[in-house]
Structure 1
């Protein structure tokens, strides 16, 4: 029923499958589990490898085993060896996680090997756990991309292995802190549980002491028990217990069981293992414990591992005849979970998250929230284009999903916990960026094909010129159009609501700009700043940005026609520029007051008569601690760790210069702090917010001091010790300075210990005001003082933090330190009204209108006669609290669609209520819906077939969710509750 997917086509290179998905049997999943002996301490041995999808080497170098001088690792050999070892003994089991690697390996196998692997999967001996393209980071990732990368892996596993290949357990063993949203999404994907390896050292000690290493994590404050996820902290990180590592990298003794030889060690090995099991059991609540036997890139010689584990199991269990209560056997995380579920006991619960994470008193892993800020932005930008490419492919019915795969795959790799996190080697960061760039090029080809169908009017041929993306307009560079006589800009709005958008085109001359009705519209030439012109690598000669206002239709495009003005045509728009004078920016909604010294004084919401006063606003820097990492107190700040020398950051400059620019479309204040830090405070016509465009770099290090740059907003908002941050762009959590909800927190690092991931928004509030900052990428942020918000923008350091990457985070480009540019959006509202602004604003920042440029030879009358200048997929107005998260064409008449309610409960008087709308509205331009099937979030199982394990916490029991909504395939009206995402496979007539 699913047809041929793009993964299948990419794997095989032909339009043929290697047979239908394997039929469901009773030999896999929970039915295949050994639940042990109820009278014994049951030790579940989990054989696994942890394979980073890039870190010290690139993903392909890791796969092939190249450049082993950097790190000995070859994933293809691991999988070869494991499959051979499983074939030797039917008792053996193995789990695999990173589908980005497995897909590469699978594409190279013969039918005989594939059939053998399918047999192992069908018999429960090889189990896929988590099943994402990678093991994603949880701090720097956006929920849209987390869902996508899991769906990419889930689709591959479904198509190749059927139901027995469907993962049921999350396995986040290596990420550096854990997000509540990750738990919620995992539950919505149909997972029954989640295990991870890293917890804060104090949290771990408390849980181990109180037998609460395992719990029910309530992943959403809005979705009830649909978001519950049984969660366990693994006892040894994700490695084996001490002295029981049997890999080529290990020096532990093998099981030497020939009594005729001098080094016979079975009694000692058995007793040591039994003690390890009993010691581990002290921290756990049942007579089941888990032992992870494996680690990073292990099992290249799987025989070494399995041969010793076979012996260990045999000899340990033999001691039961002598009174031992330890029962050890091969298992999997899902079987371990099922055994805990069958214990029928009540579990403690958790409703906050596991950030920040520290491994010792001075080792807070909060630096990576901001590391490699440019890569973090490029990843978010690439996701924006990926979603638009999918939409255009769907509405143009171009059936080019295989071509979109390259960008999907690059995005899947980029979610890895050593990718977007910024904790990889520099060479590997370049490789991630290269993959995204190549994926974007493939996406651009799809966009061209789609517009060749959507742009021409009936009976007209497709355009003869391509639509081009310009990825450097944030530094006022688009070489394609900067000095052309004629060109068009087509803006696609990927949201299902109309948007008002002020757009900038970098140019060398003045133009007449015509809107879709053919009318010339106001456009103004704003000079490019000197700070922009001197950015290393910028090659554009454009001295101006041409700014115009675009009113875009929902889920559609407008085309704007540009024609160069002649010398005789005077510019009608007047742009006023002053230097080092007071600058008052004001439109219909907002007033921003900045004094002659460049100090931000007030932001005023004119409609609500609300004002916030700024005691200070600007750039500061923390000095990175230059330790040698020999002990906790000598921990250095690095790619992972944020550890400032002092809790009081230094201003980057004590003086500022200001240039005030006023035009009709835009007003701004350009404030220069020094030659490497500047900001532009921008107010667009009719906007209800102010923007801050910041530029940082090259950060100077000629004084041999590492620096971590923040932008701090000190206000008169009486926020006390509380502030609020989002989780992966969705739900918001309250943070309390110097406090942890689940243990008695010891305050050591007063700054780093209060930093949290800010994926899209952070705010402070008092009784009458809420000051909210939206970000264009993930950044680390906090409120270190009452009324203050700070966000870390850029980091450049001279020391490694000794956590594996082996080099300092010292990014350079074009022979200098890296320059990074980004954007904050500032809202001032009442707390009761703020949700609508930050929800809608954050959505539009990550689902931004995407511009394509075309060099048009025709005059405007000729062009407008041949091509549509505006188009929308929608004929109905859709509710403001609904968001189209995914629209992906699976086949000529098949589509995957995700829609979400993106407000929380009790957040807004208008929008925080259930909403019903007709899904047919999205497909009107494509045809009528013939049938639709609701799926789990990862789209790999019909929701009606989902039957998750139930858990009890306190007096609450998880409800039976084996019920699907909208079982009538002909009823296209669907209801969304706050924070609910619903996923459908849709077939059109």
Structure 2
């Protein structure tokens, strides 16, 4: 209950109206100390790294509860830091995680808030990154990354104004770094990015060649708009050895009274000067950065600052004796600004920083899949959130406060020990609880919005409440099991008309009427036997109604279910269902053929339209988790972070299987039992070229005391030549080459885990004329360990901790047994030239899935349709197929009846992916506002906290003499013939607007 109370306290403090603050004295780059040109300038950055949940929950960390697990209390850290900053105007401090700072701010007096505003305006307290958390980079989707930063930016802008606008990314703890995140940061207007972890081989090479800092060319599509200065920190994110002055450190303080026996100033000063000289060997200028702080440090800020004050004073005093070291309080922004003014030219990077290993057998690739159920729940929660925001805006319900708990929970869930799956079990449970509470609150908005949109104005009849069925993935919807009549309303949150296949578990047969009252042809299908044994399933439904429908863009259709009468049975769809067991079968529609042998093995998939034949086998295997004691690299265990198999060849889960093929005119599937705890259903739908693989894994058997890593492997004859392709956070595609790194000579120690990469939405292999793409419904890890093969790690159950902090094995349970995970892959066979049209569109539809809501009713269809709309759309025409509506959020409605909307639209194709859809797209934003007229449009940076016209990023020069300067995106004026509300989107471009509508 205490968690819910925190969520409810002062919801408006984040979304509410801005507070006025005094004019800044000196903040940002104007407040920076740039050191001395003839000295080695050491920028001291005082900081704390506060995990938004890990070993304790976010609120336990904030309050300092359960310190028997880990001593950490963020409220005391911020209290102490503010007090220390007030005491000495030379001191500076940075803060990162807005999830904590928001909690702290809500509890402060007006006087304390005024004090903090003064520190911010004077540049002494600086907010870095500014997101709700320091997000993971491997398992996160770009939509959620943008949203969690926007949430933090909105809070900072409303409370503090321009002086609090973050300019630097600070990803010091995530376990590998995504090129797409760097691109997003650049689009948010950041000038630079610093992080603390890189592969040990990469780090050694960069340190030797003075290339620890670089210009990251973070997009193949956006050119210089995506370039971001990036620096690798020298000590992770801690201080150099011997200079940790926190309460929990063992290093000696500076004892500076020469009258006392333990006087140690000379040795401390000499040690620091030597540390500075050692560090600068890896860096290219006379400026270096030293991070002073670490996890949950500065609870007693006086202890840190008192020693740093002395260190600065005594080290600088040695300059009269010939020392070249000049040390001072600084921030990452000021350090970056000093580098910018140094006149250096910088090397560049175009790939990413995955996978990350800290020693030869320590590849942090397990977390790409860890806690697969939580990863899917986060993705589902975001789907609900986007739909709720849209419906709130289109209906004018204007209830942002009820949306805030889900926005906040999603912000917390992006943390690098949350969706990553690297937290303790009780913390994972807390993340899931917060998401569910947020969904419950957001559904209040969905319900109110649908009620308003569905009701005919001339007949305002009371609307029966809608409800969600969250367990449809296991064929369970208890409220409708005994219902005589009910409705299903499907909301489509995309800007395109889409075909949707409905599958509803029922205990009776129903006639289904569409929005126009016409009876829809349905299939009554048996639910696969494996579903009945899923622990926790309570449904008595043994069959499910399946039918095909077409949904309007940004709109809904309502379907009416009523029991079949004898008369209706004459016109009902008699399903011509063919069932075969343990026999060879073929699934085929107009576009694709899928062939199985009598043993239940997938043999071949054919794209009938293109006459592309791909022999393909598919099976489930397991790698045995390495059971090491972590004492040395060779004894590294497989755990929540690390994926390390005992053998490099996986073992099959079963040598026999049972197959049952079900074929109707519109739906066909092969239901395959692998063993007692693994099964799958491979399906195709009428007129669809995508092959759906729905897999169920668990409880993973550990009776043999062996931890298991479960993979699905697709083997083909495609000559992939060591190359495979994965997406970055759901957007751009990166080429991977087995056993190769583009920026250093890679030494192979782990042939499997060293070739695993994050798969947020897709992975593919290709050759001339043929491509196999596998789409996923959540973030997973995988790779191509052999030519022609794709393997994806779908579920993990380890019995050893990998000794990287979490302190427990990844052994998830539910209902007193191992956790069962169900998920989906979608297979596409295409030519490489046309594959993007398939995988881009399908991936967007999967990510922005239609939202099903139900309602129990007593009226007939005729009575219902007289009072309520059965179909509705927010737009009169679909947007171009290569355009996606990323954000549609009502910010406020003014007294003058002007609505202000935050709108993001994106072109989600890359350059040269498709001959038609990689071209620029024209979008008239007035299309989104059929009930009003746009009166004003202001283009913003991606984070929505600065007008684009006011953005002036620092410029950098690369070693090949090129400048990072890019032309600003011109608003409305790409062509004189365009309407004022029409914009042009280039491939992979996202544009953000604050739009006023009368």
User: What TM-score bracket applies, with the shorter chain setting the length?
Assistant: over 0.9
Is structure 2 residue 987 aligned with structure 1 residue 978? yes
Query: Could you say which residue in structure 2 is the equivalent of 1:882?
Result: 883
Distance 2:16 2:475 in 1: 46
* 1:484–1:564 Cα contact (<8 Å) kept: no
Distance 1:535 1:877 in 2: 40
Query: Could you say which residue in structure 2 is the equivalent of 1:56?
Result: 55
Distance 2:537 2:770 in 1: 41
* 1:94–1:125 Cα contact (<8 Å) kept: yes
Is structure 2 residue 806 aligned with structure 1 residue 797? no
* 2:14–2:154 Cα contact (<8 Å) kept: no
**Structure 1 pair 609/960, CA: closer, same or farther in 2 (3 Å)?**
closer
Matches within 5 A, 1:953-964: 953=958, 954-961=960-967, 964=970
Query: Could you say which residue in structure 2 is the equivalent of 1:584?
Result: 586
Shift, 1:581, TM fit: 1.1
* SS of residue in 2 equivalent to 1:195: strand
* 1:396–1:453 Cα contact (<8 Å) kept: yes
Query: Could you say which residue in structure 2 is the equivalent of 1:899?
Result: 905
Query: Could you say which residue in structure 1 is the equivalent of 2:648?
Result: 647
Distance 2:873 2:646 in 1: 55
Query: Could you say which residue in structure 1 is the equivalent of 2:3?
Result: none
Distance 2:9 2:925 in 1: 30
**Structure 1 pair 505/8, CA: closer, same or farther in 2 (3 Å)?**
closer
Q: Give the stretch that moved more between structures: 198-207 or 536-545.
A: 536-545
Query: Could you say which residue in structure 1 is the equivalent of 2:35?
Result: 36
Distance 1:128 1:325 in 2: 31
Distance 1:462 1:409 in 2: 35
Aligned length: 981
* 2:628–2:635 Cα contact (<8 Å) kept: yes
* 1:947–1:962 Cα contact (<8 Å) kept: no
Query: Could you say which residue in structure 1 is the equivalent of 2:765?
Result: 764
Distance 2:11 2:84 in 1: 25
* SS of residue in 2 equivalent to 1:454: helix
* SS of residue in 1 equivalent to 2:480: coil
Post-superposition CA distance 1:220-275 (Å, at most 9, x none): 00000000000000000000000100101101000000010000000000000000
* 1:21–1:159 Cα contact (<8 Å) kept: no
Post-superposition CA distance 1:338-388 (Å, at most 9, x none): 000001221000000000000000000000000000000000000001000
Distance 1:309 1:244 in 2: 9
Distance 1:248 1:537 in 2: 47
Distance 2:258 2:115 in 1: 37
Q: TM-score, normalised by structure 1?
A: 0.98
Q: TM-score, normalised by structure 2?
A: 0.97
* 2:15–2:401 Cα contact (<8 Å) kept: no
* SS of residue in 1 equivalent to 2:863: helix
Post-superposition CA distance 1:294-321 (Å, at most 9, x none): 0000000000000000000000000001
Is structure 2 residue 13 aligned with structure 1 residue 20? no
Shift, 1:490, TM fit: 0.4
Query: Could you say which residue in structure 1 is the equivalent of 2:272?
Result: 273
Distance 1:550 1:966 in 2: 37
Distance 1:60 1:211 in 2: 41
Query: Could you say which residue in structure 2 is the equivalent of 1:82?
Result: 81
**Structure 1 pair 454/193, CA: closer, same or farther in 2 (3 Å)?**
same
Query: Could you say which residue in structure 1 is the equivalent of 2:691?
Result: 690
Matches within 5 A, 1:693-732: 693-732=694-733
* SS of residue in 1 equivalent to 2:438: helix
Shift, 1:462, TM fit: 4.9
Is structure 2 residue 833 aligned with structure 1 residue 828? no
Query: Could you say which residue in structure 1 is the equivalent of 2:295?
Result: 296
Query: Could you say which residue in structure 2 is the equivalent of 1:573?
Result: 575
**Structure 1 pair 134/186, CA: closer, same or farther in 2 (3 Å)?**
same
Distance 1:841 1:449 in 2: 30
Post-superposition CA distance 1:658-713 (Å, at most 9, x none): 01111223100001110111111000111111000000000000100000000000
Query: Could you say which residue in structure 2 is the equivalent of 1:3?
Result: none
Is structure 2 residue 754 aligned with structure 1 residue 753? yes
**Structure 1 pair 273/237, CA: closer, same or farther in 2 (3 Å)?**
same
Distance 1:707 1:806 in 2: 19
Shift, 1:550, TM fit: 1.3
* 1:452–1:462 Cα contact (<8 Å) kept: no
Matches within 5 A, 1:418-433: 418-433=417-432
Matches within 5 A, 1:82-231: 82-231=81-230
**Structure 1 pair 758/12, CA: closer, same or farther in 2 (3 Å)?**
closer
Query: Could you say which residue in structure 2 is the equivalent of 1:613?
Result: 615
* 1:22–1:163 Cα contact (<8 Å) kept: no
Matches within 5 A, 1:343-358: 343-358=342-357
Post-superposition CA distance 1:431-479 (Å, at most 9, x none): 0000000000001110011011100112222543211111110100111
* SS of residue in 2 equivalent to 1:694: strand
Is structure 2 residue 605 aligned with structure 1 residue 598? no
Query: Could you say which residue in structure 2 is the equivalent of 1:625?
Result: 626
Post-superposition CA distance 1:479-525 (Å, at most 9, x none): 12122110000001111000001111111010000011100011111
Is structure 2 residue 926 aligned with structure 1 residue 917? no
Is structure 2 residue 961 aligned with structure 1 residue 947? no
Matches within 5 A, 1:450-599: 450-566=449-565, 570=569, 572-599=574-601
* SS of residue in 2 equivalent to 1:480: helix
Query: Could you say which residue in structure 1 is the equivalent of 2:439?
Result: 440
* 1:9–1:16 Cα contact (<8 Å) kept: no
Distance 1:464 1:502 in 2: 26
Distance 1:967 1:916 in 2: 12
**Structure 1 pair 267/962, CA: closer, same or farther in 2 (3 Å)?**
farther
Distance 1:977 1:275 in 2: 51
* 1:22–1:162 Cα contact (<8 Å) kept: no
Query: Could you say which residue in structure 2 is the equivalent of 1:863?
Result: 864
* 1:136–1:415 Cα contact (<8 Å) kept: yes
Query: Could you say which residue in structure 2 is the equivalent of 1:638?
Result: 639
Distance 1:177 1:701 in 2: 30
Post-superposition CA distance 1:132-163 (Å, at most 9, x none): 00000000000000000000000000000000
Query: Could you say which residue in structure 1 is the equivalent of 2:896?
Result: none
Distance 1:714 1:877 in 2: 39
* 1:726–1:760 Cα contact (<8 Å) kept: yes
* 2:19–2:160 Cα contact (<8 Å) kept: no
* SS of residue in 1 equivalent to 2:182: helix
Is structure 2 residue 933 aligned with structure 1 residue 937? no
Shift, 1:876, TM fit: 2.4
* 1:22–1:160 Cα contact (<8 Å) kept: no
Distance 1:860 1:546 in 2: 19
Shift, 1:554, TM fit: 0.7
* SS of residue in 2 equivalent to 1:240: coil
Is structure 2 residue 848 aligned with structure 1 residue 847? yes
Distance 2:63 2:106 in 1: 13
* SS of residue in 1 equivalent to 2:843: helix
* 2:15–2:155 Cα contact (<8 Å) kept: no
Shift, 1:203, TM fit: 0.1
* SS of residue in 1 equivalent to 2:785: coil
Shift, 1:18, TM fit: 7.3
Matches within 5 A, 1:235-250: 235-250=234-249
**Structure 1 pair 129/193, CA: closer, same or farther in 2 (3 Å)?**
same
Q: Give the stretch that moved more between structures: 592-601 or 800-809.
A: 592-601
* SS of residue in 1 equivalent to 2:448: helix
Shift, 1:576, TM fit: 2.1
In the alignment, structure 2 segments of 5+ residues that lack a partner are: 1-5, 894-898
Distance 1:145 1:887 in 2: 14
**Structure 1 pair 960/867, CA: closer, same or farther in 2 (3 Å)?**
same
> Residue 965 of structure 1 is aligned with which of 960, 966, 971?
971
* SS of residue in 2 equivalent to 1:957: coil
* 1:950–1:960 Cα contact (<8 Å) kept: no
Distance 1:12 1:394 in 2: 18
Shift, 1:16, TM fit: 7.6
**Structure 1 pair 835/277, CA: closer, same or farther in 2 (3 Å)?**
same
